[in-house]
Structure 1
Amino acid sequence: MSDVCTSEAAGAIRAIDKHSVHQICSGQVVLSLATAVKELVENSIDAGATNVDVKLKDSGAEQIEVSDNGRGVEEANFEGLTLKHHTSKLRDFSDLIHVETFGFRGEALSSLCALSDLSVITCHESSQVGTKLVFDHQGHLVQRSPCPRQPGTTVTLQQLFYTLPVRHKEFQRNIKKEYAKMIHVLQAYCIISTGVRITCSNQNGQGKRSTVLSTSGSHTMRENIGAIFGPKQLQSLLPFQQVSPAENIMEEYGLKDGDLPKPLFSITGFVSTVDHGVGRSVSDRQFFFINSRPCDPIKVSKLTNEVYHMYNRHQYPFVALNIAVASDCVDVNVTPDKRQVFLQEEKLLLAILKSSLITMYEAGVNKISLNYTPAPIVASASKDVLFSGDNKAEPVENNQPATPSLKSAMNLAALKAAFSNKNSAPSGNLAASMKRLLDQQRQRAGEKLHYRRFRAKINPGENQSAEDELRREISKEMFKEMEIIGQFNLGFIITKLNSDIFMIDQHATDEKYNFEMLQQHTVLQGQKLIVPQPLHLTAVSENVLIENLEIFRRNGFEFLIDEDAQVMERVKLVSLPTSKNWTFGPADIEELIFMLSDSPGVMCHPSRVRQMFASRACRKSVMIGTALSVSEMKKLVIHMGEIKHPWNCPHGRPTMRHLANLEIISQD
């Protein structure tokens, strides 16, 4: 009888205990190192601080400390400081409409208590002496003692996430990536917080504490940008100039003059010029703000990059834009980190942004930009377009003989006609084989296929679907099993796997194989510089470089490191890679730093090194117009099974497409 009662009790619906609820919810509020530091910095700025100092130990894995010179905490608020949903910012829900502070929900300190050991030293501006406060994981004050301190507050976190073992292990494992993301978030607050001096430093083990970034409390966004990224970045920036949306752009967004509200948005800030070389190779310096709150407006970010690429398609702009809008037209209470927002009249904002950027950029370039040429979509007389990758056509390199586009070649009727035409193939045999195969399959015309494996059309718009099908249905081992049917038009290999017929671009597939081999095995040789060259990297970039010196060496870069020098002066370039007509420099170093920030310790190459490898691979690969023997074709096909990504060449052209299944070809 007791067993039955126990079973029934276990299945009953009951309230979760408060401690578990607190831990569950806290883990959803504070997601990362960046979130923890963000919340503490926001509290400091909300408290009127003009000086905020962030100190980390072991990149934040061991300890996080944020000190400020703000108003401090009154003694009457000690007990409620870290309790769930206790805040001085709101009284009822309607206050959310007009909230002007960074924090307002009373979740940050409470959640941090649940995820770490939290203590506070604070001195209110009206107090004579400070107080040290220690809290338990439920946010309850368990210890208080006098402590000397100037007015302001210091919050210290020990062992973030240690109360969630799985999260803590993952956090420790990815600490370098977490640290890099935190720095990017902190840079946003440094840019927008005029009149506030923000510094961040880190100490690894018992080593020397090094400054990561620092601003001087300047009263303009431009000066803050210079303090973080150096004077060189300032030289390439344009002040944002807002204009009314153009008529054609209003039509694009479905807007009419009569529907437009009174001036709703005011956009200020800076963007890169479109001059080639002054942009970024990656989108690592893009910051957006709504009413001075750092956020991630996806559509705004996407549009900014799209317009920039109309004039400079190979780089990304530096962006720091603050969008001012009436508080009752924006909802910042969407996600716990408040980085996603809802805006009224978002289409109007996009129309203003697009018109303004185009007006700014048109003023500085010719009407037809030399940096932007539309991708061709049909073959020209001198250069042929093979497959089209990502809707961008790639011309065949090295003046190879023109061939019909693969799209037209894939027409089955054209293929059959080509094989029956003696002028279209090297011999009448690599045609007789196809006819024999067709005849064999026609005998099974009455049978139905239970499963059709390939459905994607051979069309630039369905490249992704076709590639997904091939990746799903073709394993690397299958390339060895493919039967060589013949060579089509001296450019494509026709293969058969069971009942499926495939066409393989002989140049593209050989190019991809050679490219991956170069990527894996080439160590670039560096050319020594006569005089070491200062790089003026930000502190976090310097740290990433120093921690990944071997990867830079394999890319041909060598450096002189002075740990005792000032931030932005610790690293000097002493050797850089050179290869015939290819030269490399600081822009490639910055791109590699960005890649390593996201994947520390993982071997990678900057895009221009990849372009060099792609160019080399192209030159050494079998050309269009080259007649191949069966053994040569078989070798190329087998190579496809020996590389990581056999589905497209380095330039984006697909290497292979499914032609037809012989069992469903009509007798006609």
Structure 2
Amino acid sequence: MADIINLLPDNIANQIAAGEVIQRPASAVKELLENAVDAGATEIQLIIKDAGKELVQVIDNGGGMSETDARMCFERHATSKIQSIEDLFQITTMGFRGEALASIAAVSQVELKTRKKGSEIGSYIEIDNSQVKKQEPCQTAEGTSIAMKNLFFNVPARRNFLKSNTAEMRHIVDEFIRVAMAFPQLQFSLTSNNQQLFHLDKGSLKQRIVAILGQHYNARLVSVKETTDYMNVYGFAGKPETAKKTRGDQFFFVNNRYIKSPYLHHAVMSAFADIIPADSFPLYVLFIDVNPEHVDINVHPTKQEIKFDDEKLMYAFVQSAVKHSLAQFNVTATLDFDLDPSIQALDAVSKPFTAQQQNESTLSPLYKSFTQANQAHMIDKSSNSSNLKHWKDLYSGGGDQYTTTSYPAETEQETESRPAVTYESQPHATASVIDERWQDTPTDQKVPVQVHQQYILSQIKSGFILIDQQAAHERILYERYQRALLETPMATQQSLFPQTLQLPPADAILIGEMLPDLQALGYDLEPFGNHTFVVRGTPADIQQGNDQATIEGLLEQFKHFSHELKVNKREQLIRSMARNNAIPAGKVLSSREMQNIIDELFACSMPNVAPGGKFTFISFKLTDLARMFERGN
């Protein structure tokens, strides 16, 4: 019987290994940038074309390689960073597995130029599908330039699984930011399709955070720093007002390596637990320095998931460090101010409080209102029997006492003519039935009432309806925006003074992707370079004002829906706009505004639910409530 087990050819084995390491262009970006850092570079350039599908190139001024090293670096498990098994537990470099360049060469066409410091001439190597096509001396600058071209050209099936250019570019920017954030002492730049997206000069960690995430964070960062013999924690956390509804501004680095750790993230969240909403995420950029012996980073191909030998200690230490920094911020926030000179000059501050003034103040009605006997929760026992008698009568009696207390005295004729005011809830009433009841209700009985600035109560023929003002307005806006995208674009209100909108890089890419749809929805935005847009106009139906906050809120909602919904981007966008621009709970509405919401809600094609599935209203029937109040007995 013939043998059936064979060794795989090298090119197939390399492609299988590459599937673990190089999943998309951003994977190659990460590996190449980390190699440049390990090479001792102080200036690193990343050049991208066609979201990395056509070209990913990294140019550095590091140590460079000899002719032999340049050839050997593309072999599997070839590395200069591991000599013995003990070295695996003392890793201080970014790359060490010796698979990155071999994996890149297996799924792309690679060109390498490198010159070692002190050498007069460099080396040029061209590799295609793991096969060396050309190797020759060349003239090049000190350092290394490596270009990965036509990713997955030899594995078309994998190329088909790549996302849109915008999505792939966002992943590239994320990887670039993670490496650049970890090494603020190095200069980084990112150019995409001949347009420079980043130029990050050498500087402090705070300068690097502000350069990447935006100038508006400059005064909103709290320094975190704790040092022990076991480990050090340092970095910055955002003040509570920087918390967002979506993730994205959370960075953990262990020995300068970016990691993903839900466990340590929970430690930071617990430190913020009492000062930000439960569904918000704080900004933080935290570095943990710990002896490599206490960390195992060789547990995942991307090296972004690691293990600690004492996770509970790490958790407690991170939580304590962040809490301590936030506590310091709270103290300094209350004391760190300059008192207005005009306040210091007031008599109440500058003159002493005499004994006569003290006596006069204790006799005043205001002072007495704050004494124990006059506090709201204190009850005078002597007046208990008289003042509280009618409340005792109300709650200690039967049904008749409820009736006599609840209604003013009436004549027998008035009692017979009074309509039965008894209602009951009907949560799932259909829109068509409610609409008919609404149309049949006399106009003078349609006057709506706002309940706790959250709900609108309005009478209908068979009872009344209770409308959630936010959910109802969300449904109205959703259908309006839907029509704008499918039929007639919305009107734009031009701004007299256009605002400049500066966004984080990933958000700027997202806005650029949505520009055509945003224009149909009434936004007039114009790219202005360097992650900036000029807002020349906004939808005519939303209040003009802080355009930056409005669009940032829209982006937050969009990213929130992106994580939770399996729908297309247009659907995410109009849901996000409807949620962001809807009248919030707590807003006081006039009778006319409430009436407009009711009229527009029942003109919708699906008025009974908001886009997210929440009910917009609940109906209450007189007949059902009559049974609750036992009016039929």
Alpha-carbon distance in structure 2 between the residues aligned to 1:336 and 1:25: 10
**1:549 is the counterpart of 2:515:** yes
**1:349 is the counterpart of 2:314:** yes
Where 1:143 maps in the other structure, the secondary structure is: strand
Number of matched pairs? 482
Name the Cα RMSD after superposition: 4.4
User: Which residue in the other structure is 1:385 paired with?
Assistant: none
User: Which residue in the other structure is 2:579 paired with?
Assistant: 610
1:53 Cα offset (Å):
0.4
| Superposition map of 1:601-640 within 5 A | 603-604=572-573, 609-613=578-582, 615=584
User: Which residue in the other structure is 1:236 paired with?
Assistant: 220
Identity among equivalent positions (%) equals 22
User: Which residue in the other structure is 1:120 paired with?
Assistant: 112
| Superposition map of 1:3-152 within 5 A | 12-138=4-130, 140-152=131-143
User: Which residue in the other structure is 1:259 paired with?
Assistant: none
Contact 1:526 1:558 in 2 (8 A): yes
| Superposition map of 1:479-628 within 5 A | 515-522=474-481, 526-554=492-520, 556-562=522-528, 567-568=530-531, 570-577=532-539, 584-593=546-555, 603-604=572-573, 609-613=578-582, 615=584
| Superposition map of 1:318-467 within 5 A | 318-365=283-330
Task: Give the direction of change, closer, same or farther, for the CA distance of 1:529–1:316 in structure 2 (3 Å limit).
Answer: farther
1:69 Cα offset (Å):
0.6
Alpha-carbon distance in structure 1 between the residues aligned to 2:510 and 2:216: 20
Alpha-carbon distance in structure 1 between the residues aligned to 2:280 and 2:544: 18
Contact 2:113 2:122 in 1 (8 A): yes
Where 2:35 maps in the other structure, the secondary structure is: helix
Alpha-carbon distance in structure 2 between the residues aligned to 1:179 and 1:79: 30
1:539 Cα offset (Å):
4.8
Alpha-carbon distance in structure 2 between the residues aligned to 1:591 and 1:643: 19
Task: Give the direction of change, closer, same or farther, for the CA distance of 1:156–1:595 in structure 2 (3 Å limit).
Answer: farther
Paired AA for residue 237 in structure 1 = L
**1:223 is the counterpart of 2:207:** yes
Alpha-carbon distance in structure 2 between the residues aligned to 1:311 and 1:604: 30
Deviations 1:594-633 (A, max 9, x none): 676868666515868515436499999xxxxxxxxxxxxx
Contact 1:212 1:538 in 2 (8 A): no
Contact 1:64 1:158 in 2 (8 A): yes
Task: Give the direction of change, closer, same or farther, for the CA distance of 1:560–1:316 in structure 2 (3 Å limit).
Answer: same
Contact 2:62 2:144 in 1 (8 A): yes
Task: Give the direction of change, closer, same or farther, for the CA distance of 1:42–1:580 in structure 2 (3 Å limit).
Answer: closer
Where 1:160 maps in the other structure, the secondary structure is: coil
User: Which residue in the other structure is 1:264 paired with?
Assistant: 230
TM-score of the pair, normalised by structure 1? 0.63
Where 1:266 maps in the other structure, the secondary structure is: strand
Equivalent residue for 2:152, pick from 158, 161, 175: 161
Alpha-carbon distance in structure 2 between the residues aligned to 1:181 and 1:533: 29
User: Which residue in the other structure is 1:201 paired with?
Assistant: 191
Paired AA for residue 32 in structure 1 = R
Where 1:604 maps in the other structure, the secondary structure is: helix
Contact 2:607 2:616 in 1 (8 A): no
Paired AA for residue 213 in structure 2 = F
Task: Give the direction of change, closer, same or farther, for the CA distance of 1:184–1:312 in structure 2 (3 Å limit).
Answer: same
Task: Give the direction of change, closer, same or farther, for the CA distance of 1:642–1:360 in structure 2 (3 Å limit).
Answer: closer
Which segment drifts farther, 119-128 or 36-45?
119-128
User: Which residue in the other structure is 1:664 paired with?
Assistant: none
Alpha-carbon distance in structure 1 between the residues aligned to 2:231 and 2:467: 49
Equivalent residue for 1:294, pick from 258, 265, 270: 258
Where 1:157 maps in the other structure, the secondary structure is: strand
Alpha-carbon distance in structure 1 between the residues aligned to 2:216 and 2:588: 38
Task: Give the direction of change, closer, same or farther, for the CA distance of 1:550–1:76 in structure 2 (3 Å limit).
Answer: closer
TM-score of the pair, normalised by structure 2? 0.66
Which segment drifts farther, 530-539 or 117-126?
530-539
1:342 Cα offset (Å):
0.4
Alpha-carbon distance in structure 2 between the residues aligned to 1:506 and 1:28: 57
Alpha-carbon distance in structure 2 between the residues aligned to 1:315 and 1:109: 39
**1:285 is the counterpart of 2:275:** no
Alpha-carbon distance in structure 1 between the residues aligned to 2:302 and 2:616: 38
Where 1:336 maps in the other structure, the secondary structure is: coil
Where 1:28 maps in the other structure, the secondary structure is: helix
1:354 Cα offset (Å):
2.1
Equivalent residue for 1:310, pick from 263, 267, 274: 274
1:531 Cα offset (Å):
1.8
Unaligned runs of 5+ in 1: 204-208, 244-261, 370-422, 431-475, 481-504, 621-634, 654-668
Contact 1:577 1:583 in 2 (8 A): no
Task: Give the direction of change, closer, same or farther, for the CA distance of 1:311–1:82 in structure 2 (3 Å limit).
Answer: same
Contact 1:52 1:198 in 2 (8 A): yes
1:506 Cα offset (Å):
7.7
Contact 1:588 1:606 in 2 (8 A): no
Unaligned runs of 5+ in 2: 335-419, 432-463, 485-489, 563-567, 590-601, 619-633
Where 1:125 maps in the other structure, the secondary structure is: coil
1:210 Cα offset (Å):
1.0
Task: Give the direction of change, closer, same or farther, for the CA distance of 1:595–1:88 in structure 2 (3 Å limit).
Answer: farther
Contact 2:231 2:289 in 1 (8 A): yes
Deviations 1:75-132 (A, max 9, x none): 2213311011111111222211001100001000000011111110111113212221
Contact 1:119 1:156 in 2 (8 A): yes
1:364 Cα offset (Å):
4.2
Contact 1:281 1:587 in 2 (8 A): no
Larger-Rg structure: 2
Contact 1:514 1:617 in 2 (8 A): no
Task: Give the direction of change, closer, same or farther, for the CA distance of 1:346–1:308 in structure 2 (3 Å limit).
Answer: same
Task: Give the direction of change, closer, same or farther, for the CA distance of 1:555–1:239 in structure 2 (3 Å limit).
Answer: farther
- Looking at secondary structure, tell me which structure has more helix per residue: 2
1:306 Cα offset (Å):
4.5
